[in-house]
Amino acid sequence: MRELKFSDRDKSGAARRQQKSVMARSFVAVLCCALVVLAAVGVGYAQAGRRVAKPKSDPPVPKSAEATAAPVAEPTAEPEKISLLVTGYTSGSMRYAMGLADNLPGVVGRRLQDSRRLQITSGGEMTRGEATKRAKNAETKTFVVWIELEGHGFDLDPINQRTRVEDLSVRYIVLEPGTAKLKDQGSVPLRPVRGGVLGTTRRLPSCYPQVTSSFEYAVVYAGIETAERVFRTFSLTSPALCT
Protein backbone atom coordinates (compact mmCIF):
# COMPACT_ATOMS: atom_id res chain seq x y z
CA MET A 1 0.00 0.00 0.00
CA ARG A 2 1.42 3.26 -1.09
CA GLU A 3 2.09 5.78 1.59
CA LEU A 4 0.48 9.16 1.09
CA LYS A 5 2.78 12.02 0.86
CA PHE A 6 2.16 15.58 1.94
CA SER A 7 1.78 16.68 -1.67
CA ASP A 8 -1.00 14.17 -2.23
CA ARG A 9 -2.74 15.29 0.94
CA ASP A 10 -2.55 18.87 -0.23
CA LYS A 11 -4.07 18.03 -3.56
CA SER A 12 -6.85 16.04 -1.95
CA GLY A 13 -7.66 18.85 0.47
CA ALA A 14 -7.73 21.40 -2.30
CA ALA A 15 -10.15 19.24 -4.22
CA ARG A 16 -12.44 18.90 -1.23
CA ARG A 17 -12.35 22.59 -0.57
CA GLN A 18 -13.18 23.34 -4.24
CA GLN A 19 -16.07 20.86 -4.09
CA LYS A 20 -17.41 22.45 -0.92
CA SER A 21 -17.15 25.90 -2.56
CA VAL A 22 -19.13 24.72 -5.56
CA MET A 23 -21.73 23.14 -3.35
CA ALA A 24 -22.00 26.34 -1.30
CA ARG A 25 -22.52 28.46 -4.40
CA SER A 26 -25.12 26.03 -5.69
CA PHE A 27 -26.94 26.19 -2.36
CA VAL A 28 -26.92 29.98 -2.43
CA ALA A 29 -28.26 29.98 -5.98
CA VAL A 30 -31.06 27.56 -5.09
CA LEU A 31 -31.88 29.60 -2.00
CA CYS A 32 -32.11 32.82 -4.05
CA CYS A 33 -34.40 31.17 -6.58
CA ALA A 34 -36.61 29.91 -3.79
CA LEU A 35 -36.82 33.37 -2.27
CA VAL A 36 -37.77 34.89 -5.64
CA VAL A 37 -40.50 32.31 -6.12
CA LEU A 38 -41.86 32.89 -2.63
CA ALA A 39 -41.86 36.64 -3.16
CA ALA A 40 -43.75 36.28 -6.44
CA VAL A 41 -46.32 33.99 -4.86
CA GLY A 42 -46.77 36.45 -1.97
CA VAL A 43 -47.38 39.33 -4.37
CA GLY A 44 -49.90 37.25 -6.32
CA TYR A 45 -51.83 36.41 -3.16
CA ALA A 46 -51.74 40.04 -2.08
CA GLN A 47 -53.13 41.22 -5.41
CA ALA A 48 -55.76 38.47 -5.43
CA GLY A 49 -56.96 39.46 -1.98
CA ARG A 50 -57.04 43.20 -2.73
CA ARG A 51 -60.43 44.67 -3.79
CA VAL A 52 -60.43 46.71 -6.96
CA ALA A 53 -61.82 50.20 -6.31
CA LYS A 54 -64.72 51.21 -8.53
CA PRO A 55 -64.15 54.30 -10.67
CA LYS A 56 -65.77 57.37 -9.27
CA SER A 57 -68.63 58.87 -11.32
CA ASP A 58 -70.00 62.39 -11.29
CA PRO A 59 -72.96 62.88 -8.95
CA PRO A 60 -76.35 62.88 -10.74
CA VAL A 61 -77.72 66.29 -11.68
CA PRO A 62 -80.85 67.12 -9.68
CA LYS A 63 -84.00 67.44 -11.73
CA SER A 64 -84.53 70.93 -10.40
CA ALA A 65 -81.14 71.96 -11.78
CA GLU A 66 -81.98 70.51 -15.17
CA ALA A 67 -85.30 72.35 -15.19
CA THR A 68 -83.72 75.68 -14.32
CA ALA A 69 -80.97 75.43 -16.94
CA ALA A 70 -81.16 78.39 -19.32
CA PRO A 71 -82.36 77.30 -22.79
CA VAL A 72 -80.10 78.04 -25.72
CA ALA A 73 -81.65 80.82 -27.78
CA GLU A 74 -81.90 79.98 -31.47
CA PRO A 75 -81.31 82.77 -33.97
CA THR A 76 -84.57 84.02 -35.44
CA ALA A 77 -84.78 84.82 -39.09
CA GLU A 78 -86.13 88.22 -40.06
CA PRO A 79 -89.63 87.86 -41.51
CA GLU A 80 -89.94 88.33 -45.25
CA LYS A 81 -91.20 91.73 -46.33
CA ILE A 82 -94.61 92.13 -47.92
CA SER A 83 -94.35 93.70 -51.36
CA LEU A 84 -96.95 96.37 -52.25
CA LEU A 85 -97.46 98.26 -55.48
CA VAL A 86 -99.28 101.56 -54.81
CA THR A 87 -101.12 103.11 -57.71
CA GLY A 88 -104.29 105.09 -58.43
CA TYR A 89 -106.32 107.09 -60.85
CA THR A 90 -107.77 110.60 -60.77
CA SER A 91 -110.25 111.92 -63.32
CA GLY A 92 -109.53 115.16 -65.15
CA SER A 93 -112.25 117.15 -63.40
CA MET A 94 -111.03 116.01 -59.99
CA ARG A 95 -107.51 117.13 -60.83
CA TYR A 96 -108.75 120.65 -61.53
CA ALA A 97 -110.79 120.84 -58.36
CA MET A 98 -108.19 119.29 -56.05
CA GLY A 99 -104.59 120.39 -56.28
CA LEU A 100 -103.14 117.23 -54.70
CA ALA A 101 -105.60 114.67 -56.00
CA ASP A 102 -103.12 113.19 -58.49
CA ASN A 103 -100.48 112.93 -55.72
CA LEU A 104 -102.73 110.91 -53.43
CA PRO A 105 -101.03 107.52 -54.16
CA GLY A 106 -97.71 109.14 -53.29
CA VAL A 107 -99.06 110.28 -49.92
CA VAL A 108 -100.37 106.77 -49.16
CA GLY A 109 -97.11 105.15 -50.29
CA ARG A 110 -95.06 107.55 -48.17
CA ARG A 111 -96.95 106.54 -45.04
CA LEU A 112 -96.69 102.82 -45.85
CA GLN A 113 -92.90 103.17 -46.11
CA ASP A 114 -92.76 103.84 -42.37
CA SER A 115 -93.28 100.12 -41.76
CA ARG A 116 -90.20 97.90 -41.96
CA ARG A 117 -92.38 94.92 -42.86
CA LEU A 118 -93.45 96.47 -46.17
CA GLN A 119 -91.60 96.98 -49.42
CA ILE A 120 -93.31 99.78 -51.37
CA THR A 121 -93.15 100.37 -55.11
CA SER A 122 -94.86 103.22 -56.94
CA GLY A 123 -96.95 102.08 -59.86
CA GLY A 124 -97.75 105.52 -61.24
CA GLU A 125 -101.23 106.13 -62.59
CA MET A 126 -103.43 103.16 -63.55
CA THR A 127 -107.08 102.55 -64.10
CA ARG A 128 -108.70 99.85 -62.02
CA GLY A 129 -108.64 97.50 -64.99
CA GLU A 130 -104.91 98.07 -65.47
CA ALA A 131 -104.31 97.51 -61.76
CA THR A 132 -106.22 94.23 -61.94
CA LYS A 133 -104.08 93.01 -64.85
CA ARG A 134 -100.95 93.99 -62.94
CA ALA A 135 -102.06 92.02 -59.88
CA LYS A 136 -102.62 88.90 -61.99
CA ASN A 137 -98.91 88.80 -62.83
CA ALA A 138 -98.00 85.85 -60.59
CA GLU A 139 -94.26 86.31 -61.10
CA THR A 140 -94.02 89.45 -59.00
CA LYS A 141 -95.85 88.17 -55.86
CA THR A 142 -96.80 91.79 -55.18
CA PHE A 143 -100.08 93.03 -53.76
CA VAL A 144 -101.61 95.98 -55.61
CA VAL A 145 -103.10 98.90 -53.66
CA TRP A 146 -105.28 100.98 -55.96
CA ILE A 147 -106.59 104.39 -54.81
CA GLU A 148 -109.14 106.80 -56.21
CA LEU A 149 -110.48 110.15 -55.03
CA GLU A 150 -114.21 110.21 -55.70
CA GLY A 151 -117.15 112.58 -55.19
CA HIS A 152 -120.70 111.83 -54.11
CA GLY A 153 -123.72 113.13 -56.01
CA PHE A 154 -122.57 116.54 -57.16
CA ASP A 155 -121.05 118.32 -60.15
CA LEU A 156 -117.57 119.65 -59.61
CA ASP A 157 -117.21 123.36 -60.16
CA PRO A 158 -113.46 124.02 -60.39
CA ILE A 159 -114.01 127.68 -61.39
CA ASN A 160 -116.21 128.76 -58.46
CA GLN A 161 -114.81 125.99 -56.18
CA ARG A 162 -118.18 125.21 -54.67
CA THR A 163 -117.10 121.60 -54.02
CA ARG A 164 -117.21 120.70 -50.34
CA VAL A 165 -114.56 118.55 -48.69
CA GLU A 166 -117.17 116.41 -46.94
CA ASP A 167 -118.53 115.43 -50.36
CA LEU A 168 -115.24 113.65 -51.19
CA SER A 169 -113.68 110.37 -50.08
CA VAL A 170 -110.70 108.16 -50.85
CA ARG A 171 -111.70 104.76 -52.16
CA TYR A 172 -109.10 102.00 -51.98
CA ILE A 173 -108.84 98.31 -52.88
CA VAL A 174 -106.14 95.74 -52.15
CA LEU A 175 -105.69 93.00 -54.78
CA GLU A 176 -103.91 89.71 -54.16
CA PRO A 177 -101.00 88.74 -56.44
CA GLY A 178 -101.56 86.07 -59.05
CA THR A 179 -105.36 86.02 -58.79
CA ALA A 180 -106.30 89.71 -58.35
CA LYS A 181 -108.81 88.60 -55.73
CA LEU A 182 -110.08 91.37 -53.48
CA LYS A 183 -108.21 91.17 -50.17
CA ASP A 184 -109.69 94.37 -48.77
CA GLN A 185 -111.55 97.50 -49.79
CA GLY A 186 -112.91 100.59 -48.13
CA SER A 187 -113.60 104.31 -48.24
CA VAL A 188 -112.06 107.10 -46.16
CA PRO A 189 -114.06 110.36 -46.06
CA LEU A 190 -112.26 113.68 -46.20
CA ARG A 191 -112.63 115.80 -43.08
CA PRO A 192 -113.10 119.56 -43.45
CA VAL A 193 -110.71 122.04 -41.87
CA ARG A 194 -112.43 125.12 -40.55
CA GLY A 195 -111.12 128.52 -41.55
CA GLY A 196 -110.41 128.00 -45.25
CA VAL A 197 -106.67 128.68 -45.21
CA LEU A 198 -104.62 126.70 -42.71
CA GLY A 199 -102.81 128.42 -39.88
CA THR A 200 -99.30 127.68 -38.64
CA THR A 201 -100.67 125.20 -36.09
CA ARG A 202 -102.00 123.00 -38.89
CA ARG A 203 -98.63 121.99 -40.31
CA LEU A 204 -98.05 118.48 -41.63
CA PRO A 205 -95.00 116.31 -40.85
CA SER A 206 -92.00 117.54 -42.85
CA CYS A 207 -91.89 114.35 -44.96
CA TYR A 208 -95.23 115.32 -46.56
CA PRO A 209 -95.99 118.24 -48.86
CA GLN A 210 -96.57 121.46 -46.90
CA VAL A 211 -99.92 122.83 -48.04
CA THR A 212 -102.03 125.88 -47.32
CA SER A 213 -105.34 124.87 -48.90
CA SER A 214 -107.94 123.19 -46.75
CA PHE A 215 -108.72 120.82 -49.60
CA GLU A 216 -105.08 119.77 -49.95
CA TYR A 217 -104.71 119.34 -46.20
CA ALA A 218 -107.80 117.13 -46.09
CA VAL A 219 -106.49 115.04 -49.02
CA VAL A 220 -103.11 114.43 -47.34
CA TYR A 221 -104.64 113.35 -44.07
CA ALA A 222 -107.17 111.12 -45.85
CA GLY A 223 -104.21 109.49 -47.61
CA ILE A 224 -102.47 108.89 -44.26
CA GLU A 225 -105.65 107.36 -42.85
CA THR A 226 -105.97 105.14 -45.93
CA ALA A 227 -102.46 103.81 -45.27
CA GLU A 228 -103.52 103.03 -41.68
CA ARG A 229 -106.34 100.90 -43.09
CA VAL A 230 -103.81 99.00 -45.21
CA PHE A 231 -101.68 98.33 -42.11
CA ARG A 232 -104.70 96.69 -40.50
CA THR A 233 -105.37 94.70 -43.67
CA PHE A 234 -101.99 92.95 -43.21
CA SER A 235 -102.28 92.81 -39.39
CA LEU A 236 -99.34 95.19 -38.96
CA THR A 237 -98.76 97.54 -36.06
CA SER A 238 -99.05 101.17 -37.06
CA PRO A 239 -95.51 102.66 -36.97
CA ALA A 240 -94.64 106.16 -35.84
CA LEU A 241 -95.13 108.97 -38.33
CA CYS A 242 -92.07 110.25 -40.13
CA THR A 243 -90.69 113.55 -38.81
Q: Taking the domains of the chain in order of start, what are their residue ranges?
A: 15-44, 82-233
Which CATH number fits the domain 82-233, given the four candidates 3.40.50, 3.10.560, 3.30.420, 1.10.10? 3.40.50
Give the model's pLDDT for residue 198: 45
Distance of CA 97 to the CA centre of its chain: 48
pTM of the model: 0.63
The per-residue pLDDT for range 107-140, each reduced to its tens digit, is 999 999 999 999 999 998 999 999 999 999 867 7
CB 176 within 8 A of CB 183: yes
CB-count exposure of residue 14 (10 Å: 0-12, 13-18, 19+): exposed
The per-residue pLDDT for range 57-109, each reduced to its tens digit, is 666 655 554 555 566 666 667 788 999 999 998 776 665 555 555 678 999 99
